[in-house]
Chains A and B, each alone.
Chain A
């Protein structure tokens, strides 16, 4: 009845059987909290983000943090060797994680990371794309949709201009990036379902 945590945001996939559920949960929380804080720090640096209402800043971050983390940690997935590196530095093969109980979500994250990394974006491009992922006016609970929409449009225009400038012969990259947004939503939904199931167990 050994328990495993297959989310790469853990330090390790192995759970100490001596630990209580509460201790396991707290350890997981200690592991992902710094990553969430980094997402907030990143959001603060997006020009115009701090001008949104505090309610909308929180709503965007609550809804989009997982998607931002998927983009930021895409490099944890090693496509060539089919491995995933956890935050604690331990590396696991996808087969090993599957044997530990990982399902469609991790496979889908792996596929997403593979496609995103294949675009060969620069750090600046990746950063701007991440801002576009976060500032989405159709997240639930947004009170001032017009302000978020205006910021979203500005960021999308900036991303298009940067991609066009850096990849003049690869006009499809911008379209491919925009098509990643629904993929991220779908991963987010799968993740939410897993979280609910996890809490139940």
Chain B
């Protein structure tokens, strides 16, 4: 399965950026 967005590692960057905020809120 070809996923061009993921070839760029986009999902990883997005998840980390979204999670960062979640962690901040938990603190």
Contacts and interface: CB of A to CB of B under 8 A. Distances in A.
- A and B, one complex? yes
Interface of A: 29, 32-33, 36-37, 40-41, 44, 50, 54, 57-58, 61-63, 65-66, 191-193, 195-196, 199
Contacts of B14: 36, 40, 58, 61-62, 65
B18 A36 contact: no
Contact of A57 (B10, B13, B18): B18
A54 B15 CA distance: 9
Interface of B: 2, 4-11, 13-15, 17-18, 21
Nearest to A65: B10
A201 to B, nearest CB: 13
B17 A36 contact: yes
Contacts of B4: 191-193, 195-196, 199
Given A29-B8, A195-B8, A199-B7, A36 B13 contact: yes
